[in-house]
Amino acid sequence: MSNGRHLAKDLSWQAHPRRMCPRTASCGCTQMRFCPFAQRVHLVLDAKQIPYHSIYINLTEKPEWLLDKNPQGKVPALEIVREPGPPVLTESLLICEYLDEQYPLRPLYPRDPLKKVQDKILIERFGTVLGAFFRASDGGELEPFWSGLDTYERELSRRGTDFFGGEQTGILDYMIWPWCERLELLKLQRGEDYNYDEERFPQLTLWLERMKRDPAVMAFYMEAEVQAEFLRTRSLGQPNYNLLVKDA
Amino acid sequence: MSNGRHLAKDLSWQAHPRRMCPRTASCGCTQMRFCPFAQRVHLVLDAKQIPYHSIYINLTEKPEWLLDKNPQGKVPALEIVREPGPPVLTESLLICEYLDEQYPLRPLYPRDPLKKVQDKILIERFGTVLGAFFRASDGGELEPFWSGLDTYERELSRRGTDFFGGEQTGILDYMIWPWCERLELLKLQRGEDYNYDEERFPQLTLWLERMKRDPAVMAFYMEAEVQAEFLRTRSLGQPNYNLLVKDA
């Protein structure tokens, strides 16, 4: 994937995403490079090898056409470029479900309705864990985050497979990954306070290493130092969205 | 459907739901009769004519076995009685998605992935509307609730069909219905303040009347006066869960 410039209000017509969208793309993903929810959609697009085009948005100064397409101005948003309208989808998880149904090759959700809903319940419940991550990353207690991860350690151990999806990655792996990738960020932020315990999370520790070698994860992986630098600029009120753009 | 007694802590073994579950039931639905989220699951079970058994729970004094089965103690919860375990599912919307996939007769979700995700986005967005409903029902402003309903008025008008699901009810109809049924409750609670405007909601007004004649809606329908009486007992700190039980 590219690390393109984030488009802001002063966007000229020549840079309008419809003009930049390559003919091969099935969809355009409006996103922000440092957003873990947008990362979910990229992981699914990349894992399923769906041709797409990324449109990066400066969330502090949103371009006006973004609100025309997507009145809530949310990212990630997926524009289905080949459908009349074209329709714009929001909500990272719903976008991923749509992609898995619309592009049935390399399915990520289990086929069995019971297994499928059990994965969905674990994704839903991860909402509490990611909330605890954000609080920990913001200087709050670490234990609520570890305690949330206990459920996933037990589940991986119960399944007895390399990934939550079985012998290969599945939807649950990708939906929780963005916050697991950020363990390194948490380590950097918290210094000596950081108390991840490999004995408490033996299965997750092995899983983290396996995930880092997954092609879709590698395509969007970001070093903790870069994430930390983005958060630093944001905390100063001047988020540098274009940190990864070579000429930024 | 029955209006059974809500089980509390003092539940004897003879009244344990496993013993009461009829052989014909595919699943047991743990719920609370006045809960709009539980109503969603009943609407889907009834619309699809899935054989089930209801287990009503006194949420103030939850029976201990509930926490064994379902550690978060949430209702609604669906126990899949014929599967080993048996597994217990939570989250009203996820339960409904499971039921629609597991019992494919009388499908409620659109088959087309794009139409399906568009319905899901409208269900997700209704989360804000139902939040506004609860605040209005609690004495807060009415306008945020009406303003949330504007989206659904426009959508029904755009679809030009009797129901959101087309010529018959679909998932979006049932997922938003519990709060629309409670318009009568809001009217009772707010008296002269109540300002539902038929000119603002011409399509929804017709839809409300059609929905009230739907067999699944009729099976779980509750008069506003009964809902108001339950809320009155709850506001006094002594919710009467068994208001509808004949010998209560």
Other CB atoms closer than 10 Å to residue A212's CB: what's the count?
14
**ipTM for the whole complex:** 0.89
Angle at A31 between CA B148 and CA A48, to 5 degrees: 105
A94 and A122, same domain (yes or no): no
Q: Is B241 a member of any domain?
A: no
Asked if the C-beta of A113 comes within 8 angstroms of chain B's C-beta atoms, the answer is: yes
Q: CB–CB of A91/A124 below 8 Å?
A: no
Full residue range of the structural domain in which residue B18 is found: 13-107+228-235
Q: Hey, of B74, B95, B117, B128, which one would you mutate to test binding to chain A, going by the most A CBs within 10 A of its CB?
A: B117
pLDDT in tens, A86-99: 899 999 999 999 99
Which two three-digit tokens encode residue A6?
A: 């984030």
Judgement on whether residues A77 and A130 belong to the same structural domain of the protein: no
Task: Write out chain A residues lying below 8 Å of B116, CB-based.
Answer: 98, 101
Cross-strand bridge partners of residue B89: B78
From the list B94, B101, B114, the residue facing A121 with the nearest CB is B94
Q: Does A98 touch chain B (CB under 8 A)?
A: yes
The stretch A108-123 carries a mean pLDDT of 97
CATH of the domain at B195: 1.20.1050.10
- Residue B242 belongs to a domain: no
Q: Which of B83, B113, B120 sits opposite A114 (nearest CB)?
A: B83
Residues 6+ apart with CB under 8 A from B13: B19
Which residue in the set A102, A114, A117 is minimally distant from B113, CB to CB?
Answer: A102
**Considering just the CA atoms, what is the radius of gyration of chain A in Å?**
18
* B56 is a domain residue: yes
A95 and A137 part of one domain: no
What's the whole-number mean pLDDT along residues B47-54? 92
Query: Which tens digit of pLDDT belongs to each residue from A196-231?
Result: 999 999 999 999 999 999 999 999 999 999 999 999
What CATH number did the domain enclosing B75 receive?
3.40.30.10
Residues B76 and B157 in one domain: no
A22, A62, A76, A166, B67 from A32: Cα distances, Å:
19, 11, 7, 30, 41
DSSP B192: G
Tally of domains within chain A: 2
Q: What is the mean pLDDT of chain A?
A: 89
Q: Give the residue ranges of DSSP H helices in chain A.
A: 17-20, 36-47, 64-69, 92-102, 113-137, 143-159, 171-181, 183-190, 202-212, 215-220, 224-235
Whose tokens are 């597991």? That residue is B102
* Helix, strand, coil abundance in chain A, percent, nearest 5: 50, 10, 40
pLDDT in tens, B71-109: 788 889 999 988 888 899 999 999 999 999 999 999 999
Q: Both B101 and B187 in a single domain? A: no
Which is more confidently placed, B75 or A23?
Answer: B75
The reply to whether A242 falls in a domain is: no
A35 an active-site residue? yes
A123/A205 same-domain check: yes
- Please give the average per-residue pLDDT across B213-232, as a whole number: 94
Distance CA A123, CA A93 (A): 9
Q: A172 with A83, same domain? A: no
Q: Give the residue with greater pLDDT, B20 vs B156.
A: B156
**Contact: A94, B114; criterion CB under 8 Å:** no
The CA radius of gyration of chain B, in Å to the nearest whole number, is 18
Q: Are residues A118 and A200 in the same domain?
A: yes
Does one domain contain both A37 and A127?
Answer: no
Q: What integer is the mean pLDDT of B46-68?
A: 85
